[in-house]
C-alpha cells in the first residue's frame, strides 16, 4: 500500500524533499503546489509527479493525501498545516514552526486532536555526526557539559543588493530572518543534546536595513534580523551560546564546540569532521559518514542528504500508525518557537527571559 503524498512549495522541496522521497519505496507523490504554476509544473515534470497546482487549497480538495509536506514561507505554515490536518493528512512542516508560539500551539493541538503524525523539518537530527554527539553527551563521555558554542558566520546578506525587493527571508512580518532560518536549527540541536532551555538573553539585530534591488535599483527596507547572538541556560548545559551573522564579508561557515568536565567535542560543518579530545590529549577524529550521500539523485550537503533518513522515518511512522521515534514533532516545534520568541523579547527588553515548561 502506497503513502499518498502532496507537496506544497517547489523550491527546497525540489532540492531536498523529492529526491529523498525517491528512496522511500512506498512513497507516491501525487501532486505539488507552488505560488507559480510554471515552477510547480517544472518540478512535477522533473520528478514524475502527475498533478501540479498554483493553489494549494485546490490541491487539498482534489486529492486524499496520507501525508502533506510543507516547504513554504513561515507565515503560511499555520493555515496550510491546519488545513492539511483537517483534511485527514499527516504533516511535515518546514522550520521555523510558525510566526510565534501561539500559532505553533494551534498546530500542535490540532495534530493531537486529529491523531496525526507531525514533524518539523529539522533534518540535522538525522545526520550521523550530530547523532553521535547526542550519544556521546548522553553517555557522559565528556562528563558534565560546562558550556557549548555554535557559530555560523556567512557573507550571504552582506551586500545591500544581495536580496531582491520583497524577499520574504528579509521581512519580519513574513517570518524571515537568521533567527528563524538558522537559529531554529541550532535551538533544536541544543534542546536535543542538553534538554530544555530554561532562560535566554539575546541580541536579534537588523544591521543592514537599507537595501536595493539589484535588478531594478529600487531601494527597499529589510525588517528581519541578519545578526543574532544568544546565550541560554539549559537543563544539562550551564551556558550554551549561538552566534549567527549573514552580514560578514568572509565565510566562517558553521562550527560546534562542546566543553565538558572530561573532554571536548568539535564539529566543523565545512568538512564535516567530528573530533573528540580527552583532558590533556590530542583530538581524535571520530567522524561518521552518511551512507545516504551515495544514493542516486540526492543533492550534496548535509541539508539534502539528511532528508533521506528523515523521510524514511516519517513515512515509516505514517505506515505503522505511530509517532515519529526520532526527529522533531510539533511539540518540539512549539518549544523551539517559545525560545525564538523569548530571544526577540530579550532583545527588546534588554534582559534575561525565563522560559516556562
Q: What is the mean pLDDT of residues 26-54?
A: 97
CATH superfamily of 125-290+336-354: Dihydrodipicolinate Reductase; domain 2 (3.30.360.10)
Residue 357 pLDDT > 70: no
Residue 270 pLDDT > 90: no
Q: What is the mean pLDDT of residues 64-76?
A: 98
Cell of 301: 550537503
Backbone angles phi, psi at 200, to 5 degrees: -150, 145
Domain locations in the chain as residue ranges: 3-123+307-329, 125-290+336-354
Backbone angles phi, psi at 289, to 5 degrees: -75, 145
DSSP-derived 3-state class of residue 110: helix
**Exposure string over 59-94, b if 16+ CB within 10 A, otherwise e:** bbeebebbbbbbbbebbbbbebbbbbbebebbbbbb
Q: What is the mean pLDDT of residues 334-347?
A: 98
- With residue 338 as reference, give the H or E element that holds it: helix 330-349
pLDDT at residue 1, as a whole number: 73
For 293, which DSSP code?
A: G
Q: What is the pLDDT of residues 140-194, one digit of tens each?
A: 999 999 999 999 999 999 999 999 999 999 999 999 999 999 999 999 999 999 9
Residue 108's contacts (CB-CB under 8 Å, 6 or more residues apart) are 118, 330, 331, 333, 334
Residue 12 pLDDT > 70: yes
CATH topology of domain 3-123+307-329: Rossmann fold (3.40.50)
pLDDT at residue 269, as a whole number: 81
Q: What is the pLDDT of residues 193-215, one digit of tens each?
A: 999 999 999 999 999 999 999 99
Amino acid at each position: 500500500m502506497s503513502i499518498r503524498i502532496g507537496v506544497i512549495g517547489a523550491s527546497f522541496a525540489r532540492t531536498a524533499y523529492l529526491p529523498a522521497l525517491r528512496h522511500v519505496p512506498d512513497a507516491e507523490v501525487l501532486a505539488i503546489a507552488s505560488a507559480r504554476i510554471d515552477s510547480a509544473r517544472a518540478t512535477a515534470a522533473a520528478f514524475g509527479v502527475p498533478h501540479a497546482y498554483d493553489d494549494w487549497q485546490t490541491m487539498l480538495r482534489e486529492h486524499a493525501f496520507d501525508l502533506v509536506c510543507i516547504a513554504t514561507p513561515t507565515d503560511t505554515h499555520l493555515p496550510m498545516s491546519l488545513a492539511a490536518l483537517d483534511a485527514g493528512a499527516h504533516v511535515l512542516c518546514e522550520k521555523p514552526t510558525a510566526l510565534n508560539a501561539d500559532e505553533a500551539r494551534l498546530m500542535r493541538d490540532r495534530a493531537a486532536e486529529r491523531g496525526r503524525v507531525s514533524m518539523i523539518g529539522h533534518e540535522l537530527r538525522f545526520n550521523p555526526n550530530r547523532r553521535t554527539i547526542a550519544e556521546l553527551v548522553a553517555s557522559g563521555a565528556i562528563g558534565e557539559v560546562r558550556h557549548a558554542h555554535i557559530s555560523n558566520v556567512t557573507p550571504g546578506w552582506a551586500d545591500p543588493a544581495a536580496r531582491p525587493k520583497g524577499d520574504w527571508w528579509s521581512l519580519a512580518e513574513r517570518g524571515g530572518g537568521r533567527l528563524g532560518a538558522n537559529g531554529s536549527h541550532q535551538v533544536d540541536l541544543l534542546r536535543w543534546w542538553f534538554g530544555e532551555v530554561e532562560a535566554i538573553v539575546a541580541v536579534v539585530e537588523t544591521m543592514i536595513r537599507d537595501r536595493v534591488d539589484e535588478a531594478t535599483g529600487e531601494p527597499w527596507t529589510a525588517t528581519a534580523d541578519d545578526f543574532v547572538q544568544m546565550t541560554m541556560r539549559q537543563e544539562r548545559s550551564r551556558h550554551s551560546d549561538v552566534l549567527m551573522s549573514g552580514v560578514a564579508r568572509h565565510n566562517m561557515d558553521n562550527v560546534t564546540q562542546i566543553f565538558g568536565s572530561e573532554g571536548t567535542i568539535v564539529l566543523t560543518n565545512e568538512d564535516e569532521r567530528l573530533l573528540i579530545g580527552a583532558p590533556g590529549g590530542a583530538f581524535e577524529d571520530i567522524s561518521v559518514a552518511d551512507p545516504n550521500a551515495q544514493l542516486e539523485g540526492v543533492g550534496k550537503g548535509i541539508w539534502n542528504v539528511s532528508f533521506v533518513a528523515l523521510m524514511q522515518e516519517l513515512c515509516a511512522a505514517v505506515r505503522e500508525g505511530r509517532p515519529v521515534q526520532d526527529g522533531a514533532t510539533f511539540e518540539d516545534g512549539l518549544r523551539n518557537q517559545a525560545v525564538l520568541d523569548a530571544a526577540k523579547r530579550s532583545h527588546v527588553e534588554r534582559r534575561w527571559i525565563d522560559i516556562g515548561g
